[in-house]
Amino acid sequence: MYDSDKRKLLSALSHGAIFFSTTVVSVGLPMALLLVFDDPVVKDNAKESINFHLNVWFYGAILGSLFFLTGWLVLPLVVLLPLAGLGYLLHWGLTIWAITKVFANPDTPIRYPFIVRIF
């Protein structure tokens, strides 16, 4: 049997790592948790967090490219700025949702909706 409090903490750290920064540094914590701990729920949460990081970076790169390519046009900015705001709300909102789910039920791995899973 695995320690429920330790499972909560490690799973929450895995999902909350994206709050540290949106750079490559923030994905290091879930990767370390995936490699170091044997708890299957912690491992599943770490994998899901890594997948979420990759999705955030991918969609951010697409949006950043569109800003770069069409930044001199006014009409695309009217569409892209609200889309970027929605992206940030989803990014932060889904992370907060995952952390609250971890604390509510630490024995079940969290699955983010609408993401592409590589791991």
11 within a domain of the structure (yes/no): yes
71 within a domain of the structure (yes/no): yes
Reference 110, options 84, 99, 81, 72; nearest CA is 99
Average pLDDT, integer, range 41-61: 94
Contact 103, 11 (CB under 8 A): no
112 within a domain of the structure (yes/no): no
pLDDT, averaged across the chain: 90
118 within a domain of the structure (yes/no): no
110 within a domain of the structure (yes/no): no
Instruction: Residue 45: give the domain boundaries.
Output: 4-104
pLDDT given for residue 22 in this prediction? 65
Number of domains composing the chain: 1
In tens, the pLDDT along 4-45 reads: 999 999 999 999 998 887 677 789 999 999 999 999 999 999
114 within a domain of the structure (yes/no): no
What is the pTM assigned to this prediction?
A: 0.89
119 within a domain of the structure (yes/no): no
Write the secondary structure of 41-94 as one string of H (helix), E (strand) and C (coil): HHHHHHHHHHHHHHHHHHHHHHHHHHHHHHCCCHHHHHHHHHHHHHHHHHHHHH
